[in-house]
Amino acid sequence: MDGTNDSARGSFILLGFSDRPHLERILFVVILIAYLLTIVGNATIILVSRLDPHLHTPMYFFLTHLSLLDLGFTSSSIPQLLYNLGGRDKTISYAGCATQLFLFLALGGVECLLLAVMAYDRFVAVCNPLHYPAIMSPRLCAGLVSVAWGCGVANSLAMSPVTLRLPRCGHHRVDHFLCEMPALIRMACVSTAVMEGVVFVLAVAIVLWPLLFILVSYGCIVRAVLQVRSAAGRQKAFGTCGSHLTVVSLFYGNIIYAYMQPGNTSSQNRGKFLTLLYNIVTPLLNPLIYTLRNREVKGALRRLLLGDRAAGKA
């Protein structure tokens, strides 16, 4: 019997961490604090980047979109998780589950592509600095971001309905804390080999190709930096590369582990914590890794809070 219509009229149960009740209260407090800090950190980056004219550059334009993505990405699942951790009710409506799935796939795909766009920006800045303003024009930056958003949303539009239509034969217990595609695929009561093959192909397009582009870009950057005679110049360039590569490692590592093996049931518990990691930890660390250690952003914050004269004295 196809359980799709039955689920559509009812709700799903997000099992989450209910098998570890002693951890739920601790997780609630830790996740709530991390979520609030994530909102404050990313909102600060967006506000400063938009209000300070000194930060109206391609790099901070992309960082603004990264912060918007992180806010949407974490907000698509963490409020529901906090609700489920805070009491005995673990349910989520069908509409809520579908919304979670769509946003999670769309925003995750956009972030994969945006990180590749940011790698290209750093490649041009380091390898072709004299032509950087002409190459990274506002029109090109807007176009690259639009392509990233368009591809991420298109991927989600293709995969979300197919995942939700899988026959579940009345099963409505999701072994996860959110309606994530691998968890929903595992609920199916039919063979999902074809579905998993399609997921793998799309994962290559959305995840692995951008990652390969990032690695090639940074290979060119490293080669160019090694030719710089100034030690200070090399240190500055590697500092920029290091921040971006740290975020790439955190985000892509977890995405690849979760989505390149959607039907694997041997490591579901580990997968929950990895998903939690790139849902909370990565969006929380991005402002710190990218900008809060950056002198330009610190100067912009002083100018906004204290005024130009106080910032100049500082």
Domains of the chain: 4-313 (1.20.1070.10)
Q: What residue ranges in the chain does DSSP mark as E strands? A: 11-14, 91-93, 173-174
Report the pLDDT averaged over residues 117-133. Answer: 90
Q: In the numeric block, which tokens belong to residue 133?
A: 């303003």
User: Distance between CA 144 and CA 163 in Å, rounded?
Assistant: 29
Report the pLDDT averaged over residues 264-287. Answer: 73
Of residues 223 and 142, which shows the higher confidence score?
A: 142
Q: In the numeric block, which tokens belong to residue 185?
A: 């695929």
Q: Are 252 and 211 in contact (CB under 8 A)?
A: yes
- Indicate whether 275 pLDDT > 60: yes
CB-based contacts of 227: which residues, under 8 Å, 6+ apart?
none
- Indicate whether 7 pLDDT > 50: no
The 10s digit of each residue's pLDDT in 16-46 is: 887 777 888 898 999 999 999 999 989 988 9
The 10s digit of each residue's pLDDT in 71-124 is: 998 999 899 999 988 888 888 998 999 999 999 899 989 999 999 999 999 899
Closest CA to 165 of 138, 195, 123, 143: 195
Give the mean pLDDT of the chain: 81
- Indicate whether 181 pLDDT > 50: yes
Predicted TM-score of the model (pTM): 0.84
Of residues 144 and 231, which shows the higher confidence score?
A: 144
User: Distance between CA 46 and CA 35 in Å, rounded?
Assistant: 17
